[in-house]
Structure 1
Amino acid sequence: MFSKTLAAAGLLASVAISAVNAAAPTITTSGAKFFYSNGTQYYMKGVAYQLTEADPLIDAEQCQRDATVMAQLGANAIRVYHVDPAGDHDGCMSAFADAGIYLLVDLDTFTTAIDATAIDKTTWNQTQFNAFAKVMDAFHSYNNTLGFFVGNEVIALNNQSLAAPYIKAAARDMKAYRNSKGYRSIPIGYSAADIAELRPMLQNYLACGTNSSESIDFFGLNAYEWCGSNNLQTSGYSTLNTYAESYNIPIFFSETGCNTVPPRDFADQSAIFGSSMNDIWSGAIIYEWIEETNDYGLISYGPMVSATATASGVVAGISRQGTPTPVSPDFTNLQNQWKTLTPTGVASSAYSPSLTPPACPSSTAGGWLVDGDVKLPSIGQTLATGTSSVATSTGTATGSAASATATKKSNANGGKEIAGMSAGLLTVMLGFMYWL
């Protein structure tokens, strides 16, 4: 009887996954663009979606309510920072697929993320690999899984760039794992903090080299430069645009939506999806879905209560389930922007990119410490003091090393608030090599 029950459960799960797959065409990358399987170019209109620290994709009823309102907003993607690979995600993935919404999911968690913040802690090890692989195992079969991130703002300050080879090694090994399992070629990329001294070196380093199996498949930038009444030039977006020209893989804003000048009018969306940028950039993820104490939310599930209050669905004083109610006027402002911004792009059949990977950047006096196309670490190697003939740091970190650019993060999404390194620690870091 037990075996029959298991078989029935397996059949139901298979049917559920098949339903998800039937509802959503897959998305692939070609050159610097995303394409639906029918050849139409895909532009990302997404929201950051992390209702709880653990996993927002296991409550099917809540996902259904949220997906309905997201569709009204005009969203076609969500970004989720932390999931439980052991959870049942069929209901949520089906709800989002039915609404035409795709998933970008981070493979790491608070405990498995690559850590660039302290001596002898930066590593890419077997425990991390296994944890990343479990998330990939859990989500590879859904057609509306758009991509995986191997890290979010691992390098949060300009003096942490020695961690970049570990990010690239994680992408290399997860791509190899994906291929060895025969999974669909779901792209694997990185979400970067916007650090002026590392532009465009970080984005170029992660995509550079003659071996595509060692480079990322897409690059996301968490940028909050466009605040209030701005334009392409005064916001700094024109500089970002220049750096992204001729980039050989898709690039998009993996977080955006400055709120220092309320209410947010989301005027930057007209630039991102307009003629000045839409041939280069593939869209944006708006931070964030749920209203928390940081005032970045597009919806709320009820009024805030005491942080010590205990009630179903309430964490840290924030209701995290229920009927999504738009936050006014931000929700409507974004909705109105997106409904008028519908770039058609190019059909995949008419797109024959001749793009080449960027040159691997040399180390600089401004903070980029990785010198050229260095040998990537293997699983288990750590960032440590010593000498090496393989990779040598010659740069000197200066500038804004003491402050991270993205300071809006809540605990739920896994963002980091990182203090700058002391002068003594920085001196030691400058002597670091990649491995013993």
Structure 2
Amino acid sequence: MLSVSRAVALLLASFIGITYAVHTVEVHGQDFVDTVTNKRLTIIGVDYQPGGQSGYNPGAGEDPLSNGTVCLRDAAMLQSLGVNTIRVYNIDPSVNHDECASIFNAVGIYMILDVNSPLAGESIDRSNPSGSYTTDYLTRIFGVVEAFKGYPNTLAFFAANEVMNDVPTSQDNPPYIRAVQRDLKNYIAKHSTRTIPVGYSAADVREILQDTWEYLQCAINGTTDESRSDFFGLNSYSWCGSTATYQTSGYDVLTAMFQNSTIPVFFSEYGCNKPEGTPRVFNEVAALYGSEMTALSGGLVYEYSQEPDDFGLVVINDNATVSLLKDYDNLQAQYNKLNITLIESANSTAATLTPPACSTDLIDNSGFSKNFSIPSPPDGATDLINNGIKNPNNGKLVQVTATAVPMAVYASNGHQIQNLAIKPLPNDESNTPGGESTSANATSTASPSASPTKKGAAGKNYSVATGSLLMIALTALLML
């Protein structure tokens, strides 16, 4: 239970301009670690890409972190869910993300950003890695670094996602993945005041999975080099259905594979919706965050919003209101059972493991690359790395002055959730599951098809509530 002083502090923080910052995070061996508290950060996360690929529209200045009102709505739901991290796939580096990043920061939620997008020239083409590794491409991804390096809740960057998805694509692509990682890390070292981890998100293709991890975590010439991954993400959907177990899902095999990893490993996507369809029960959460899988650093559930592939936790309605799905309730219930003390405890061997020297002996599949000669940066890229890109868009935290969600949100039972707002956290905390049962607490009988709340009415109600709560808070302070 919160102390009175803590509760009042949280309440007051809700109505004062918020510039609180989560602590930055570094990689220490097998763990992500808070740079101030030295506690382990295990990822309790959700993949966040409202609108799917169509939500990324650089011509219109739109991406998932460009609309502060939308981010306020979703941050409230993600905070209630209990997550501490989101992954955002498609980012426009020229757009202002200050409001969204600051909102997620205020509620203790970190961001892992993909530097690539599905548009031509904005990723490494798995069918033509050498031709797509260009100075223009690097300019684009360095722009993402510039846009997000100033936010303390920027946890990490994905240099690539599923560039290898079968044996043939594992022949030519691995050196280019390491080249992009090297370039990003060198750029960060030159132009950021702190280290920001860079890694890879892999497809769960068992023929090449271990070779991919071994190739990316090893150190060339026996020394740590900038092309080496800082972490390894795995898009894994092997736990399927309510009867799956630690053994039948192959989680035991994954745990054994990554037990002695010298870098953090986590699920960058998980949450199979086959064969039973939805709602998903998410009983894999207990295994992923349990004592048998402490070698892994958690995971990100795919995904926040309902898209055509039917993996959503919520439905975003045409009028910007949101309806929770039963998947949201089930995941929230699973998160509420987690042992946070266990999750925050560092692995005893996490910082003592030495990276293996890169060697052809590490690679088992004959079709996988054994080439550890990493391509040099393309013409002009070295100048970019040393001197920076022109006219960078540098993001920075701003005050979060609004906390109340202005549009309606409906629980899975169809009832409207009342008084929905973000709850800014103190300066030293990331978000954790709080025991909430969001849908069970919704009591209004408003229909999900109702029109969104009018802006004027919402503002009036918020100001009245603000005055009343401030009086309560000040009275409580005087009584301490």
Matched, 1:74 2:66: no
Task: Report the count of equivalent residues.
Answer: 342
Match of 2:20 in 1: 22
CA distance in 2 between partners of 1:352 and 1:70 (Å): 29
CA distance in 2 between partners of 1:200 and 1:237 (Å): 14
Match of 1:353 in 2: 351
Other structure's SS at 1:214 match: coil
Match of 2:6 in 1: none
Matched, 1:115 2:125: yes
**Amino acid in the other structure paired with 1:285:** L
CA distance in 1 between partners of 2:228 and 2:84 (Å): 26
CA distance in 2 between partners of 1:115 and 1:174 (Å): 17
1:201-216 matches, within 5 Å, as 201-209=211-219, 210-216=223-229
Q: CA 1:137–1:33 in 2, change beyond 3 Å: closer, same or farther?
A: same
Q: Give CA deviations for 1:148-172 in whole Å, capped at 9, x if unaligned.
A: 0001111122211120110011001
Q: Which has the larger radius of gyration?
A: 2
Q: Which has the higher contact order (CA 8 A, sep 6+)?
A: 2
Other structure's SS at 1:270 match: helix
Matched, 1:61 2:60: no
1:149-168 matches, within 5 Å, as 149-161=158-170, 162-168=172-178
Give the superposition deviation at 1:335. 0.4
Give the gaps of 5 or more residues in structure 1: 1-18, 303-318, 382-436
Backbone CA RMSD of aligned residues: 2.1
Question: Is residue 31–residue 350 contact of structure 2 (8 Å, CA) maintained in 1?
Answer: no
CA distance in 2 between partners of 1:369 and 1:151 (Å): 18
Other structure's SS at 1:22 match: coil
Match of 1:244 in 2: 258
CA distance in 2 between partners of 1:98 and 1:41 (Å): 20
1:333-344 matches, within 5 Å, as 333-344=330-341
Question: Is residue 201–residue 368 contact of structure 1 (8 Å, CA) maintained in 2?
Answer: no
Match of 2:383 in 1: none
Q: CA 1:301–1:352 in 2, change beyond 3 Å: closer, same or farther?
A: closer
CA distance in 2 between partners of 1:77 and 1:93 (Å): 12
**Amino acid in the other structure paired with 1:223:** S
Question: Which of 126, 135, 148 is 2:157 aligned to?
Answer: 148
Match of 2:394 in 1: none
CA distance in 1 between partners of 2:175 and 2:149 (Å): 25
Give the superposition deviation at 1:341. 1.1
Question: Is residue 204–residue 359 contact of structure 1 (8 Å, CA) maintained in 2?
Answer: no
1:180-259 matches, within 5 Å, as 180-209=190-219, 210-228=223-241, 229-259=243-273
Q: Give CA deviations for 1:146-201 in whole Å, capped at 9, x if unaligned.
A: 00000111112221112011001100111011101143101001101111111211
Give the superposition deviation at 1:349. 11
Question: Which of 263, 280, 284 is 1:264 aligned to?
Answer: 280
Give the superposition deviation at 1:249. 0.7
TM-score (norm 2): 0.68
Q: CA 1:158–1:183 in 2, change beyond 3 Å: closer, same or farther?
A: farther
**Amino acid in the other structure paired with 2:260:** S
**Amino acid in the other structure paired with 1:230:** A
CA distance in 2 between partners of 1:125 and 1:190 (Å): 19
Match of 1:101 in 2: 109
**Amino acid in the other structure paired with 1:201:** D
Other structure's SS at 2:291 match: coil
Other structure's SS at 1:129 match: helix
Q: CA 1:124–1:183 in 2, change beyond 3 Å: closer, same or farther?
A: farther
**Amino acid in the other structure paired with 2:306:** E
Q: CA 1:245–1:182 in 2, change beyond 3 Å: closer, same or farther?
A: same
Please identify, of 20-29 and 167-176, the stretch whose mean Cα deviation from structure 2 is larger: 20-29
Give the superposition deviation at 1:362. 2.8
